[in-house]
Structure 1
Amino acid sequence: MPLRSPAPAPPSRDALGLLRQAAEQLAEAHRETEPLRRYPAAYLAALRAGAAVLAMRARPRTRRGAPRDVWRLLAEVAPELEEWAAFFAGCSRLRIEAEAGIGRHVDRRAADDLLRQAEQFVTRVQLLLPR
């Protein structure tokens, strides 16, 4: 009789909580009409979804090193999301500028585009959850 691999463990409460926060952040981004507020809200939704993947897959490291951001860690623990991680890492500077109110390059189109990308990413992360 062939051996079956064990069923995947259900996602942790932390991962589910982060995904719930990501969905709430997407809803907030949709409510925002000001691009300088919509852009960071969409970015934070993606960031929380990325953190949810880390909560599901990352293993604590024992050695100390330079702190690394979610996007670098995500590319390591979920290679299938590497392109997404690179995309959102590239959006980090504009998010910081938008939050500071100096986002000259954050217009309505940029904010709407990021919101669409964040929605797709959150959906992709939800599909990674064990069923």
Structure 2
Amino acid sequence: MSATVDFPSSPAHRGRGGGRSLPSGSPAALLRQAECGLAAAEAEADPAERFTQAYLSALRAAAAMLAHRGRPHRGRARPTSVWTLLSAVAPELREWAAFFAACSSTRAAVQAGRIRLVSARSADDLVRQAGQFIGLIARVVPG
């Protein structure tokens, strides 16, 4: 059974290695999307948007790792958080998965319009943490 992850692609998205194209659900393409999203988060002035972009970038990096290592067999199990799946597939990233899982409710609240939950400092912190996480994934995922 294969997992597919549907992320919107941006016109600025280009595969690594020049102009060669990557399959949209490939680990390398997902990692590239994470890197592009992180760059957008770093350039974003609005803290709520910066927080959301950083979180989604980390989510794409986690999806890249899942695509690279494979999804654990779950039979007919209910849908599971990418962070839970990441802990199962890459136990060495369990602390990172727990960290980003803890950010999930804030990200959902911000996307629902509760932007006061995010300060400039918390957005900056999440951008920094997402950058470290994406860097770790980039060392493992070929691309």
TM-score, length-normalised on structure 1?
A: 0.85
Q: Does 1:45 align with 2:65?
A: no
Query: Structure 1: how far apart are the matches of 2:42 and 2:91?
Result: 29
Using the TM superposition, name which of 103-112 and 85-94 deviates more: 103-112
1:118 CA drift (Å):
0.1
Q: Say if 1:50 and 1:70, in contact at 8 Å, map to a contact too.
A: yes
In structure 2, the partner of 1:24 is: 36
Partner-residue secondary structure (3-state), 1:71: helix
Q: Say if 1:36 and 1:101, in contact at 8 Å, map to a contact too.
A: no
Q: Does 1:88 align with 2:83?
A: no
In structure 1, the partner of 2:113 is: 101
Number of residues paired by the alignment?
Answer: 120
Q: Decide which of 67, 80, 88 is 1:68's aligned counterpart.
A: 80
Larger Rg: 1
Q: Decide which of 55, 77, 86 is 2:89's aligned counterpart.
A: 77
State the structure with bigger RCO (CA 8 A, min sep 6), 1 or 2. 1
TM-score, length-normalised on structure 2?
A: 0.78
* TM-superposition CA deviations, 1:16-73 (whole Å, max 9, x none): 0000000010011011110110000000000000000000112463610111011000
Query: Structure 2: how far apart are the matches of 1:93 and 1:72?
Result: 15
Closer, same or farther in 2 for the Cα pair 1:35/1:43, shift >3 Å? same
1:98 CA drift (Å):
1.3
Gaps of 5+ in 1: 1-11
Partner-residue secondary structure (3-state), 1:93: helix
Gaps of 5+ in 2: 1-21
Query: Structure 2: how far apart are the matches of 1:109 and 1:88?
Result: 17
Query: Structure 2: how far apart are the matches of 1:62 and 1:30?
Result: 36
Q: Say if 1:94 and 1:103, in contact at 8 Å, map to a contact too.
A: no
Higher helix share: 1
Query: Structure 2: how far apart are the matches of 1:42 and 1:91?
Result: 11
